[in-house]
Amino acid sequence: MTPRHVQLDGEGRLRHFITTEGLSRQILTEILDTAENFATVGSQKIKKVPLLRGNTIVNLFFEPSTRTRTTFELAAKRLSADVLNLNINTSSASKGESLLDMLRNLEAMGSDMFVVRHNQSGAAQFIAEHVAPHISIINAGDGSHAHPTQAMLDMFTIRRHKPDFTRLRVAIIGDIMHSRVARSQIHALNILGVPEIRVVGPQTLIPQHAAHLGVHIHHSLETGLKDVDVVMMLRLQRERMEGALLPSAEEYFARFGLTQAKLALAAPDAIVMHPGPINRGVEIDSSVADGAQSVILEQVTNGIAVRMAVMSLVLGRGPRSEEAAP
């Protein structure tokens, strides 16, 4: 069973959102168009619509993340849903009930959606395969597998600045190997028709099979950035530094840190993105993060609208856009 089949219902509509891999351009475009409708909600005086009133959304976080949980909680509340936050300590799971028994109980309580975060790749799909038919699963990050709502808020942000995906050069820079964000971004960019996707990083942090994903591999930031329209930085996990994969933070910054000088190699109107939280002076210089080409805070704002869109789409509620591209 491919992930594609798990996420779609019999009529090909989105029912879970586990990964961007294998989805159609039409589905991704529908998410982006729906998010456009929600983007105005965040700037209204009353930032709330009654679409999911009386629905119960459970934030099921097996890996703690205040930041991601907060964005999903806000999106759910602005859709007028009731939100339950459950932080599950997997190390003490042996004392309690099994994962499946826990799911069965939350289902029986009348939950409508689980937003799942887990440090094991495949956890969200496993839950989607075992959940009752009336529940939708949204993957809020599973191991190094996928983080599809992050990728879609990135696509939304790109489209607002560069409306035609089919004319873009995009570079993704950093620890491609361990990044669920990069994986979901690459699939989404490919599906939306981006002709040139580059991954840039040291050899130890780019997987051997990356070329199979339809990307170009660069081990030099200078060649990687040349003439790109979109620069997507990744967060460098500090624990990589402690392993054998990386030299010091200083050395990493010297080779792959994004500075104004390096950015000048990209197209003059290139935008700079980062999923946050940023390590200033490690993967990105402060002057770039806070500079005129940075759209990092726009990404955060767009993240609420995109999550509202995904939540309302998987539950089969409007506002569906009439103009969804074929």
The residues binding a copy of itself (CB under 8 A) are 42-48, 53-56, 66-67, 70-71, 73-74, 77-78, 82, 84, 86, 95-98, 101-102, 104-105, 107-110, 238, 276-278, 280, 297-298, 300-301, 303-304
Residue 86 vs 264, nearer CB to a copy of itself: 86
Phi and psi (nearest 5°) for 90? -70, -25
Q: What are the structure tokens assigned to 288, written together?
A: 């770039």
Residue 213 vs 305, nearer CB to a copy of itself: 305
HSE value, Cβ hemisphere, 13 Å, CA-based, for 230: 33
Q: Which residue is associated with the tokens 């489209």?
A: 159
Alpha carbons 293 and 266: distance in angstroms, whole number: 11
Q: How far is the CB of 279 from a copy of itself (least distance, A)?
A: 8
Burial of 219: CB neighbours in 10 Å, binned 0-12, 13-18, 19+: middle
Q: How far is the CB of 43 from a copy of itself (least distance, A)?
A: 8
Residue 86 vs 211, nearer CB to a copy of itself: 86
Helical ranges in the chain per DSSP H: 3-7, 25-39, 66-78, 99-108, 123-130, 148-161, 180-191, 221-225, 238-242, 249-256, 260-263, 286-289, 296-314
Residue 53 vs 167, nearer CB to a copy of itself: 53
Q: How far is the CB of 104 from a copy of itself (least distance, A)?
A: 6
Residue 112 vs 142, nearer CB to a copy of itself: 112
Q: Residue type for 49, please?
A: V
Residue 85 vs 121, nearer CB to a copy of itself: 85
How many Å separate Cα 231 from the centre of its chain?
Answer: 16
Q: What are the structure tokens assigned to 64, written together?
A: 């703690």
The DSSP 8-state label assigned to residue 90 in this structure reads G
Q: How far is the CB of 325 from a copy of itself (least distance, A)?
A: 28
Q: How far is the CB of 138 from a copy of itself (least distance, A)?
A: 18
Residue 41 vs 215, nearer CB to a copy of itself: 41
Residue 168 vs 315, nearer CB to a copy of itself: 315
Q: How far is the CB of 261 from a copy of itself (least distance, A)?
A: 23
Whether omega before 195 lies within 30 degrees of 0, making that bond cis, reads no
Q: How far is the CB of 297 from a copy of itself (least distance, A)?
A: 4
Alpha carbons 159 and 229: distance in angstroms, whole number: 12
**Residue 7 CB partners (closer than 8 Å, separation 6+):** 14, 15, 16, 17, 18, 19, 23, 128
Q: How far is the CB of 283 from a copy of itself (least distance, A)?
A: 13
Q: What are the structure tokens assigned to 234, written together?
A: 């990744």
Residue 158 vs 266, nearer CB to a copy of itself: 158
Is the C-alpha dihedral spanning 192, 193, 196, 199 positive or negative? Answer: positive
Q: How far is the CB of 68 from a copy of itself (least distance, A)?
A: 11
